[in-house]
Amino acid sequence: MPHLHIKEFKSIEFPKEQDGVRFNFLAKNANHSDDKVISTTIEGEEFFLLVREDEKKCLLKTDKLTRPASIYNVHKCLLAYAKIAGLEVLESNVPDNAKNIHLQEVTALKSIEYFAQKFPDAQDVAIEVGFGSGRHLLHQAKENSQTLFIGIEIHRPSIEQVLKQITIQGLDNLLILDYDARLFMELVPSNIVSRIFVHFPVPWDKKPHRRVISTSFIEESQRVLGINGRLELRTDSENYYAYSYETFIALKKISLQINKNKDIAVSSKYEDRWKLMEKNIYDLTMINEIESDPLHIEGDFTFSTFTKDAQELLALHATTKKFEGGFIHFERIYTLDDGIMLRVSMGSSDRPEHLYIIIQDKQIRYYPSLPLLSKSNLMAHKFLDEVLNG
């Protein structure tokens, strides 16, 4: 992750601009003085820089919840703040160079808002969850030019590598999204997807709740897939295969195909390595036989007028509030010059969303963007409004 180790953190007068970067405000952790975040805007994207201090040096990097997909923009923001605040940099892995020529005209990288506002219109849609190096995704997009492919990944170097290849190969049927695939599936219209690829997901043996494959993910996959659409899991993990089989087979009605060490048209570099090591590769494919009702979601994320005081908000730190079907966890509380900011995780336990909430002048709002419009988030929002204003 791009970062600067600096001798000492120095604040600036907000708001202020430097080299095309706008620094909006500073928020301080109410319970840990060594933790601060800086609201930053560049090229229309708003996110936080994170400040972590200790006795010897200080770390400046991007906040993982809000960081933009462009690593170049992260580099630019870090260097701009160091320059405008006059920071003494002790160590850095941030290059001060021009943006890669293949990333200068990128249009394939989309935000979750792009899909939420109006899902792309296409006769055939395919989704790959966690595309890694992108070898399989790029091959599929090149060989199936009439299909719109959506690649979902959270590893930034992988995202930029695939974006470069999209430009180099001139692919116009491939969109990239940096987001939690489990949440993304909740906004995909019903019956429009022909294939969902989940190739070599992280096994998460010690944290099974973080696995992509779950009952809710399978049910959402059934909803978005058309008749005879396929959800394809490919894994080298016997534990993940066994867990996934049990999860699939527990559903009331399911059609499955199972293969072992099946050759496919293109494989990842990791799969090639595992084959040389003679590791087994498992394929578990669900074929959808259900036509689902159209997706219909109603509601919004407006809050009631805030009536409590700051001390009541500060007392929420590290507390968890549960409701039927989900929870709200108040991870951190920050103070602003003129208000309070909360960092929360909320929603269902297997696919929570992590968000910031700002309270100023009796008004409550999500920052820097609204949660995804989904049934689980709307339910969590309603409960959150009751906690903050009840």
- pLDDT at residue number 103: 63
Among 224, 253, 287, the domain-final residue is: 287
Q: Are residues 50 and 181 in the same domain?
A: no
Residue 325's pLDDT band, with cuts at 50, 70 and 90, is: confident
User: Is 96 a residue whose pLDDT tops 80?
Assistant: no
Number of independent structural domains in the chain: 3
Q: Are residues 115 and 180 in the same domain?
A: yes
* Residue, of 134 and 100, whose pLDDT is higher: 134
Q: Are residues 151 and 277 in the same domain?
A: yes
- Residue 341: burial class (beta carbons within 10 Å; 0-12, 13-18, 19+): buried
Among 39, 62, 92, the domain-final residue is: 92
Q: Are residues 278 and 383 in the same domain?
A: no
Q: 27: which 2 tokens?
A: 């928020």
Q: Are residues 252 and 159 in the same domain?
A: yes
Find the length of the chain: 390
Domain assignment present for residue 301? The answer is no
Nearby residues of 279 by Cβ (< 8 Å), 6 or more positions away: 236
Q: Are residues 209 and 158 in the same domain?
A: yes
Range of the domain at 329: 310-389
Which of 81, 78, 71 has the alpha carbon at shortest distance from 92? 78
Q: Are residues 257 and 370 in the same domain?
A: no
- Strand order across the beta sheet in which 174-177 lies: 109-110, 174-177, 148-152, 125-129, 193-199, 225-235, 282-287, 256-260
Domain assignment present for residue 46? The answer is yes
Q: Are residues 196 and 266 in the same domain?
A: yes
143 three-state secondary structure: helix
Distance of CA 184 to the CA centre of its chain: 9
Give the mean pLDDT of the chain: 91
Helix or strand (DSSP H, E) at 126: strand 125-129
Among 62, 92, 122, the domain-final residue is: 92
Domain assignment present for residue 304? The answer is no
Average pLDDT over residues 123-135: 95
Domain assignment present for residue 320? The answer is yes
Distance of CA 324 to CAs 150, 210, 301, Å? 33, 20, 19
β-bridge partners, 60: 4, 51
Rounded CA gap, 114 and 135, in Å?
25
* Residue, of 165 and 2, whose pLDDT is higher: 165
Residue 98's pLDDT band, with cuts at 50, 70 and 90, is: low
One-character DSSP codes across 200-255: S----SS-GGG-S--HHHHHHHHHHEEEEEEEEEEES-HHHHHHHHHHHHTSSS--
Average pLDDT over residues 55-70: 85
Q: Are residues 273 and 332 in the same domain?
A: no
Domain assignment present for residue 192? The answer is yes
Domain assignment present for residue 300? The answer is no
Average pLDDT over residues 234-259: 94
Q: Are residues 248 and 176 in the same domain?
A: yes
Rounded CA gap, 276 and 279, in Å?
8
Which backbone phi and psi does 386 adopt, to 5 degrees?
-65, -40
Q: Are residues 236 and 384 in the same domain?
A: no
Residue 273's pLDDT band, with cuts at 50, 70 and 90, is: confident
Residue 54's pLDDT band, with cuts at 50, 70 and 90, is: confident
Task: Give first-to-last CA distance, the chain, whole Å.
Answer: 40
Domain assignment present for residue 357? The answer is yes
Domain assignment present for residue 100? The answer is no
Q: Are residues 231 and 317 in the same domain?
A: no
pTM of the predicted protein model: 0.84
Residue 185's pLDDT band, with cuts at 50, 70 and 90, is: very high
